[in-house]
Structure 1
């Protein structure tokens, strides 16, 4: 039987395109997607967009971020109401160093998804990371909180990291364990 950490590592290996190894596509996934979300789009158009996104992910994984951005942009042009391509393009833009463009796409993905489902959760997590890197811990905390409520384990971990009391408790616990491992012989 696998521990949750083992499962996360295996997921990251077998699903490298899932951001942060957080979104699992198996029956244990914590994040619920609206089954009718994509059914509102014409099937042929949706199929074309999914192929473009897959080509974009493949290009990004091979290091061709420029092509990835182009493929995601084509997907957005075909179905501008679908949040997934905005998420993907945001990740590629961030890799190119275009943090402003990435934030714009993530804001749009959160808006289109109403901050729900897999696309909404991924957008909130990505945006939270960018906000945290930009020094906006409060904005990051809000996004991680929303993503955690959707079931993101990664967002929960980030909330702990952002909590100063948790950090203090962790440090105290680490010090206590260290003392148990290496007792101070001077007290004897």
Structure 2
């Protein structure tokens, strides 16, 4: 007579570590990123003198301060901030911080300019101002700026250490870009192209929903690696392998509970 005790699979230490990394965002291997406070704020590819960097930092602080909620920024003040950041980018095209600050300022501009349109279209596909047809050009600029900030700030090799300033920028930029890409994936999954047309950043138009979700998961993973806790959680939720393993585990548990 066969034993009524169900044999349970044993996991190797490696298997356990993989499952832990897949299902527990806090265990994401952020140790793979080395942050060295002794390093200069930006890599050598950012060809700006120390004095100019200090001046730029002060100028950016002034710009961002005017956009704080207690200043009650309106469309005109946000647009002025965008123009100031345009000037910085034009004069210092290798300066990563200006690109991410401009991306975030443009995001505010989109909300102020297209909020009413977005609310009116909430039942038609997306309540996000960034994914209204009218916001296409600005959405494209935002995604391009985030990508440029990442390209300029990321280390030459993943094993190279980064400064705390680099790490913060990369964490924010990867997470922001991941959100935009994930939003595009959700819209494509929930509505066909005939219903909503092409919305959002143009470079994402021809990409399928599943591929977009994988791209977003990758960005969230990297954002988490550089220290963004929200990105760590979203990386797990969007990781296709975690989803697959989750389905396998759930099915195994169901069979064990039912005794089959």
Moved more, 135-144 or 102-111: 135-144
Q: Quick check: 1:55–1:71 contact (8 Å CA) kept in 2? A: no
Q: Quick check: 2:237–2:243 contact (8 Å CA) kept in 1? A: no
2:171 alignment partner in structure 1:
121
Q: Quick check: 2:42–2:153 contact (8 Å CA) kept in 1? A: no
Change (3 A) 1:107 1:161: same
2:219 is equivalent to residue 143 of structure 1: yes
User: What is the aligned residue count?
Assistant: 140
Per the TM alignment, residue 77 of structure 1 is displaced from its structure 2 partner at its CA by 2.8
1:76-155 to structure 2, matched below 5 A, reads 76-97=89-110, 98-114=138-154, 117-135=167-185, 136-155=212-231
2:107 is equivalent to residue 57 of structure 1: no
2:40 alignment partner in structure 1:
36
**Which one has the bigger helix percentage?**
1
Per the TM alignment, residue 160 of structure 1 is displaced from its structure 2 partner at its CA by 3.2
SS at match of 2:67: helix
Per the TM alignment, residue 32 of structure 1 is displaced from its structure 2 partner at its CA by 2.9
Could you tell me how far apart the structure 2 residues matched to 1:86 and 1:33 are? 23
Per the TM alignment, residue 91 of structure 1 is displaced from its structure 2 partner at its CA by 0.8
Unaligned runs of 5+ in 1: 1-29, 173-188
Provide Cα deviations, 1:38-94, integer angstroms capped at 9, x if missing partner: 485323311221122112212222323112212222222332212111011001112
1:20-35 to structure 2, matched below 5 A, reads 32=35, 35=39
1:12 alignment partner in structure 2:
none
Could you tell me how far apart the structure 2 residues matched to 1:55 and 1:130 are? 27
Change (3 A) 1:157 1:124: same
2:223 is equivalent to residue 158 of structure 1: no
Moved more, 152-161 or 32-41: 32-41
Could you tell me how far apart the structure 2 residues matched to 1:72 and 1:56 are? 8
Could you tell me how far apart the structure 1 residues matched to 2:180 and 2:40 are? 30
Higher RCO (CA-CA < 8 Å; seq separation 6+)? 2
Change (3 A) 1:85 1:46: same
Q: Quick check: 1:52–1:75 contact (8 Å CA) kept in 2? A: no
Q: Quick check: 2:43–2:153 contact (8 Å CA) kept in 1? A: no
Change (3 A) 1:122 1:90: same
Unaligned runs of 5+ in 2: 1-32, 111-137, 156-165, 186-211, 251-260
Provide Cα deviations, 1:134-157, integer angstroms capped at 9, x if missing partner: 113221101011111222211112
RMSD (Å), alpha carbons: 2.8
Task: From the CA coordinates, give the structure whose radius of gyration is larger.
Answer: 2
Q: Quick check: 1:68–1:92 contact (8 Å CA) kept in 2? A: yes
